[in-house]
Amino acid sequence: MNIILMGYRCTGKTSAGLGLAERMGLPFYDTDALVEHMTQRTVAQIIAAQGWQAFRDAESEVIRRLSGTDRSVIALGGGAVLDAGNVECLKRGGLFVWLFAAPETIAARMERDAAGGAERPSLTGKGSVDETEGLMAQREPLYRRFADLAVDTTGIETHRVVETILSGLRERLPEEERTVGVPQRNREAV
């Protein structure tokens, strides 16, 4: 069983995913990082050169490959759930954890990311809070529908988010998948 982290950008999927994978002794995959590795371009470069659909196509290819893994933690890009095929691939062998935060929190995190050089292209051309509110309203019904577990990351430190996820997983994972902190055999990168 894979643990799939989904949610809007800057809700903590990567940082919580890394911590969760470490605690569970599982490999961690970030779909955005894998798209960048596969294409040898940043997300911003892909979008600038070929548009959002080229990024979404590359993302779907990465997700298709990841769907063949087992006992991994996978952080999805915020819009990955817009493609029903992505969800279908991962849902068969995965438990979906929805990370969410208040729009103001997300906007503040996006500003910190931009200051650190990790700026993401706008999807709508609006300001970060307006864009976040609009896209969250569009995506929230999907996140809510697919979520096996939901965690609010507003104002919560990463280690507490990880603990909350672990607590929720203990109730939802099959008995044989509940071993937390026991390193699993090494996996090759996808």
Contact 99, 4 (CB under 8 A): no
| Cα(88)–Cα(182) distance, integer angstroms | 29
Contact 74, 5 (CB under 8 A): yes
Tell me the two tokens of residue 46.
């892909």
Predicted TM-score (pTM) of the model is 0.85
Bridge partners for 96 per DSSP? 4
pLDDT in tens, 116-156: 445 555 555 555 667 777 788 889 999 999 999 999 999 99
| Cα(178)–Cα(182) distance, integer angstroms | 10
pLDDT in tens, 29-39: 999 999 999 99
Domain 2-172 has CATH 1.10.510.10: no
Q: Domain boundaries in the chain?
A: 2-172
* Strands (DSSP E) found in 101-162: 149-152
